[in-house]
Amino acid sequence: MQDMKHLIRNVQDFPKKGIGFKDITTLLKRGSSFKDAIDRMASLYNPDDVDVIVGIEARGFIFASALAYKWGKPLVPIRKPGKLPAETVKEEYALEYGCDTIEIHKDAITQSQRVLIVDDLLATGGTMAAAARLIEKLGGRVAGLIFLIELSFLKGVEKLSDYRVDSLIKFDSE
């Protein structure tokens, strides 16, 4: 299996000084690599063990929707505040400075549904931990968490220790 790490572009000091932004557009624009990434995500699970795919705004949508299409499964978005039109439930999570909120439609998940949550990148794990809490608030069961990229030096998996976590590309240092 070919390493995909070289397909991710590091953009230093974006969006602010000190951040090494992992740019996935360099992978996406190679059709065969995007397809390969989705196929690898799909191979991690038996689709019969998953009822719903959840994607986190915005880059999580890219991978979650392709996976949902591949498996023919329902797709549910988790979004930033004020974007979803119907009744929502919300979760707050801490950022380096301040906090942020994500939300999901209240009727998006039904009791005991097995949910796979997908995002592009695991950094501190705050966003994904909040997403998992949202699913559980609605009575869903988190079947697992999939990331394209994991910044393993930030130890985000420690915040997600209750769940199965998979990532296709790992960066051990900045």
CB 113 within 8 A of CB 52: yes
What share of residues in the chain are helix, strand, coil (percent, to 5)? 30, 35, 35
Q: How far is the CB of 125 from ligand AMP (least distance, A)?
A: 5
- Indicate the DSSP class of residue 142: E
Q: Is 136 in the active site?
A: no
- Tokens representing 146 are 């999939």
Write down the catalytic residue from 57, 79, 96, 114.
Answer: 96
Task: Rank residues 78 and 138 by Cβ distance to ligand AMP and give the closer one.
Answer: 78
Residues in the chain: 174
12 burial via Cβ count (<10 Å: 0-12, 13-18, 19+): exposed
The site map against ligand AMP for 101-140 (x = CB under 6 A) is: ------------------xxxxxxxxx-------------
Q: How far is the CB of 88 from ligand AMP (least distance, A)?
A: 19
Q: Is 59 in the active site?
A: yes
Catalytic residues: 59, 96
Per CB under 6 A, residues contacting ligand AMP are 19-22, 56, 59, 119-127, 156
